Amino acid sequence: MEKASEKQAFAARLQQALKRSPKKIDTATELAVQFSLRHPDAAITPQAALKWLTGRARPTPDKIETLAKWLDVSPMWLRHGIADKARSGHAPKQDGPLQPTTEEIHLLERLRALPEARRLLVLGIAEQFALDGEVWADKA
């Protein structure tokens, strides 16, 4: 049986993808209508869409495929939160230790000088940008 935390994580990724969508989806009814126009097998109800958005349910794999295609994200990312490295276009990791630039060292010093709450905020933003770069690399 699927854990509630996995459903919540899916809901967060779905909401993030919807925010990046060219057509803004603000309600479960809008999600149900737009999804149903794109899914070849069956329409969904606004109640089902609401469960997806609130983390009470996660769609079946075929529905995740339709969502991923529509929202232009990797099905693997939408389903599990794992970026598709082939899609991301990132260069492979370097062999050996990473050598930071002078600018990066200065930035790290400034980051370390921040109060903890602000430091965590900056780190969260950096993580979000990194994820966006992996998930929507061809849109940048």
- Counting every residue, how long is the chain? 140
Q: How far apart are CA 127 and CA 121, in angstroms?
A: 10
Over the stretch 12-59, which tens digit does the pLDDT of each residue have? 999 989 988 888 898 999 999 999 999 978 899 999 999 999 999 999
Q: Which helix (H) or strand (E) holds 57?
A: none
Over the stretch 55-81, which tens digit does the pLDDT of each residue have? 999 999 999 999 999 998 889 989 988
Q: Is the pTM of this model over 0.75?
A: no
- Core vs surface per residue 87-109: b (16+ CB within 10 A) or e: bbeeeeeeeeeeeeeeeeeeeee
Work out the average pLDDT over 75-95.
66
Q: How far apart are CA 76 and CA 13, in angstroms?
A: 11
Superfamily of domain 4-87: lambda repressor-like DNA-binding domains (1.10.260.40)
CATH 1.10.260.40 residue ranges in the chain? 4-87
